[in-house]
Amino acid sequence: MSNRGFLNVLAVLAMLLGFPKNTFAQSPPTILITYHSESGKTQAMAEAVAKGAGEVQGVAYILKPIADVTEVEIRNASAIILGSPVYNANMTPQVQEFINSWPFAGRPLKDKIGAVFVTGGGFSIGEEAVMFSMIRAMMIHGMVIVGGDELEAAFGASAITEEGDYGGKEVQEIFLLKAEGLGKRVAELALSQK
């Protein structure tokens, strides 16, 4: 009997036994978009990442602060997109603590897609250093790293929030578009792996 014939037999048995129709359906890939935000600027970037992921049909996403994420959500996610403000040229202690809480035994995050985004108060204040710190942590877990959709977002999405023309305002559209592109790219890749 072919695989298709076997699946048809299973479907008929499921109907006869009263199982719901979607018992054997695959669930859509889920993107976990999580962040730590003190000023609301990293949250704005996270919302833009979610907007981009939401443009891809057939993908679900979870958007929430790291303090609210459960281990089950981490394990079940097809991809994790993590955001942090720059804190003394590092990720915030809360983001580091969150990464340190990830399950390691048996490498359950291996081959999941990983991507990052950051916000920094000024130019050359450590955005790329923070991105690489988060990327390195994801790589230790065996995750597959994805950068943004354009050259200027090669390592992920980042935003300048306090210096020069960017100070005292909401996160500028140029940065939000990079975040949207990151979310969309990760969602498309997660969908293609299903």
Give the domain CATH number at 133: 3.40.50.360
Residue 3 lies in a domain: no
Residue 16 lies in a domain: no
Residue range(s) defining the domain that contains residue 108: 27-193
pLDDT the model gives residue 2: 53
Residue 15 lies in a domain: no
Neighbours of 188 (CB within 10 A): 18
Q: Is the dihedral of CA 66, 72, 73, 76 positive or negative?
A: positive
pLDDT the model gives residue 194: 76
Mark residue 63 as left, alpha or beta (left: phi above 0; alpha: psi -120 to 50; beta: remaining).
beta
pLDDT the model gives residue 163: 87
Residue 17 lies in a domain: no
pLDDT the model gives residue 167: 84
Residue 1 lies in a domain: no
pTM as predicted? 0.86
State the 10-residue block means of pLDDT for the chain, 194 residues long: 51 48 67 97 98 97 98 97 96 97 95 97 92 98 96 95 87 96 98 88
Residue 14 lies in a domain: no
Residue 78 lies in a domain: yes
Q: How many domains does the chain have?
A: 1
Residue 21 lies in a domain: no
